[in-house]
């Protein structure tokens, strides 16, 4: 079974509007972290936001927030007030505390911001 | 620039040749990771170093691949006898080791794009 699933291969959003990128995960480890990265066409993976499995509040970082629903095993990224520079691939990733030091990534969502 | 750096950024080689990539992590980071990303996919873990010790290797890391981190600073990834299936982006990441591994953030470099003809 896929550990990280991103069901939206591509998304369009109008500039200045909000957009939600979906991520569901699968783990039996009680301690895990969920990460979102942005990958522009240049290729670099840019860290955006982190949510820990024991965190009581949803993470926020500037225009990025994470809608963490632990019982549903989802960690959706919300980008508010989209900008043209937000056009990129977005990857959800998980690190399980008891499964080594690797990040496991989803297949990504390509976000395109329309002017 | 204090981020993770990788060289070269692009490499084109012929099948059967050897290639070597270099990664310089963020200076205070003791953990270093290599990932491979093929077109249209998310990155896949290859190997992990804590200081100079290679502690984890993925099944993806065939015997044609070797990675080193001789002094616990920069790392090299060598691919011997390259095959067309090795064409991918090779990403390096680093982190500071902490007690809570789940919370560690890995910071990535710009990657090396390899094309094997």
Give me the pLDDT at residue B1, please: 54
> Hey, is the C-beta of A106 within 8 angstroms of any chain B C-beta?
yes
- B109/B6 Cα distance (integer angstroms): 6
Q: Once rounded to an integer, what is the mean pLDDT over residues A66-93?
A: 97
- Categorize the per-residue pLDDT at A83 as very low, low, confident or very high, splitting at 50, 70 and 90: very high
> Hey, is the C-beta of A35 within 8 angstroms of any chain B C-beta?
yes
> Hey, is the C-beta of A36 within 8 angstroms of any chain B C-beta?
no
Judging contacts by C-beta atoms under 8 Å, the chain B residues touching residue A66 are none
Token pair recorded at residue A104? 């496991």
Mean pLDDT of chain B: 93
Judging contacts by C-beta atoms under 8 Å, the chain A residues touching residue B111 are 43-45
Which of A102, A107, A110 is the best substitution to test chain B (most B C-beta atoms within 10 A)? Answer: A102
pLDDT tens string B45-78: 999 999 999 999 998 888 999 999 998 899 999 9
pLDDT tens string A19-28: 999 999 999 9
% of chain B beyond a pLDDT of 90: 83
Q: Three-state SS for B78? A: strand
Minimal CA–CA distance to B12: which of B82, B108, B62?
B82
Whether residue B99 is predicted with pLDDT greater than 80 in this model: the reply is no
- Categorize the per-residue pLDDT at A15 as very low, low, confident or very high, splitting at 50, 70 and 90: very high
The region, left, alpha or beta by phi > 0 then psi within -120 to 50, assigned to residue A84 is alpha
- A68/A62 Cα distance (integer angstroms): 17
Mean pLDDT of chain A: 95
């Amino acid at each position: 079974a896929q550990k990280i699933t991103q069901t939206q291969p591509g998304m369009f959003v109008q500039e200045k509007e909000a957009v939600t990128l979906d991520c569901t995960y699968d783990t039996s480890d009680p301690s895990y972290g969920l990460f979102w990265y942005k990958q522009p066409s240049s290729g670099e993976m840019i860290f955006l936001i982190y949510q820990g499995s024991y965190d009581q509040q949803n993470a926020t970082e500037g225009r990025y927030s994470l809608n963490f629903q632990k019982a549903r095993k989802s960690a959706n990224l919300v980008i508010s007030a989209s900008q043209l520079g937000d056009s990129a691939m977005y990857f959800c990733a998980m690190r399980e505390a008891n499964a080594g030091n690797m990040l496991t990534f989803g297949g990504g969502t390509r976000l395109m911001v329309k002017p | 620039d204090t981020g993770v750096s990788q060289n070269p950024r692009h490499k084109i080689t012929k099948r059967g040749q050897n290639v070597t990539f270099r990664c310089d992590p963020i200076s205070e980071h003791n953990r270093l990771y290599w990932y491979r990303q093929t077109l249209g996919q998310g990155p896949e873990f290859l190997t992990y170093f804590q200081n100079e010790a290679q502690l984890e290797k993925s099944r993806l890391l065939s015997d044609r691949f070797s990675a080193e981190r001789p002094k616990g600073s920069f790392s090299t990834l060598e691919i011997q006898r390259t095959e067309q299936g090795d064409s991918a982006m090779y990403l390096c990441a680093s982190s500071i080791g902490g007690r809570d591994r789940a919370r560690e953030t890995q910071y990535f470099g710009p990657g090396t794009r390899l094309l094997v003809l």
